[in-house]
Chains A and B, each alone.
Chain A
Amino acid sequence: EAGVTQFPSHSVIEKGQTVTLRCDPISGHDNLYWYRRVMGKEIKFLLHFVKESKQDESGMPNNRFLAERTGGTYSTLKVQPAELEDSGVYFCASSQDPKQFFGPGTRLTVL
């Protein structure tokens, strides 16, 4: 069974540019989560999809972040415009029961 995949693995952009991160969950998992780890801090929750609906987006830092989940399958997280403090590792996780399975993450560097 394929695990959670994320693309790209790394992204380096200039401040003010736009970046889109993609997550493909484990097939059949209705729940999809986005998390972020900034340097020196713990992994923090961003938002939760159930199928194509946003169940909880209380962790989204501001309106520069836009998440979508097309047809309840893959999800994208767009940052527009990117700021320096958006740098970090963005993780996606999927689940069908309490335990969540994580992808390898996307390391985003904003210069």
Chain B
Amino acid sequence: EDQVTQSPEALRLQEGESSSLNCSYTVSGLRGLFWYRQDPGKGPEFLFTLYSAGEEKEKERLKATLTKKESFLHITAPKPEDSATYLCAVQAHSGAGSYQLTFGKGTKLSVIP
């Protein structure tokens, strides 16, 4: 069974204080690892897809990296508007053609001015 574990559950940062969120996973044949951002009362918003170990993607203050067992979301000099819950999900190769996402519980990030 595919599993995703995210840590920490919650993280408080001062504005400008860089940090990293962790996503550990086990999956039977990784097709892709996804990072989403979710604001209260809204649906998950797509950030990145990573497909193979060693791959990196960047968007503004966010950088996602991938190894064979985990992914990191690095946040550089965060701003209060980066406050949200960050979700990690994996998608496995499927002979049946179904590409469901298996999610972690998320990391709730609060950036204090």
- Residue B106 interfacial (CB < 8 Å): yes
Contact with A along B42-81 (1 / 0, CB 8 A): 1111100100000000000000000000000000000000
Contact with A along B3-46 (1 / 0, CB 8 A): 01000000000000000000000000001101010000111111
Q: How far is the CB of A4 from chain B (nearest CB, A)?
A: 7
Whether B97 and A50, one on each chain, are in contact in the complex, defined by CB atoms closer than 8 angstroms, is yes
Contact with B along A36-59 (1 / 0, CB 8 A): 000001111100101000011011
Q: Tell me the complex Cα distance, A50–B96, Å.
A: 12
Nearest B residue to A105 via CB reads B43
Q: Tell me the complex Cα distance, A59–B46, Å.
A: 22
Whether A55 and B96, one on each chain, are in contact in the complex, defined by CB atoms closer than 8 angstroms, is yes
Whether B43 and A4, one on each chain, are in contact in the complex, defined by CB atoms closer than 8 angstroms, is yes
Whether A98 and B91, one on each chain, are in contact in the complex, defined by CB atoms closer than 8 angstroms, is yes
Checking A48, A50, A56, A102 against B43 with a beta-carbon cut-off of 8 angstroms, the contacting residue is A102
When A43-B103, A48-B99, A50-B97 are in contact, do A100 and B46 touch as well, CB less than 8 Å?
A: yes
The residues of B that contact A102 with a CB separation of less than 8 Å are 36, 43-46
Q: Tell me the complex Cα distance, A16–B61, Å.
A: 48
Q: How far is the CB of A25 from chain B (nearest CB, A)?
A: 13
Contact-residue bracket for chain B: 20 to 34
Nearest A residue to B5 via CB reads A42
Q: Tell me the complex Cα distance, A48–B97, Å.
A: 10
Nearest A residue to B45 via CB reads A102
Whether A56 and B96, one on each chain, are in contact in the complex, defined by CB atoms closer than 8 angstroms, is yes
Chain B residues at the A interface, C-beta cutoff of 8 Å:
4, 31-32, 34, 36, 41-46, 49, 87, 89, 91, 96-106
| Among all A-B residue pairs, the 9 with the closest Cβ atoms | A56-B98, A102-B43, A45-B100, A43-B103, A102-B44, A42-B103, A42-B105, A104-B43, A48-B98
Chain A residues at the B interface, C-beta cutoff of 8 Å:
4, 31, 33, 35, 41-45, 48, 50, 55-56, 58-59, 91, 93, 95, 98-105
* Cross-chain pairs A/B with CB under 8 angstroms, 13 sampled: A33-B101, A35-B103, A42-B104, A42-B106, A48-B99, A48-B100, A55-B96, A98-B49, A100-B101, A101-B46, A102-B36, A102-B45, A105-B42
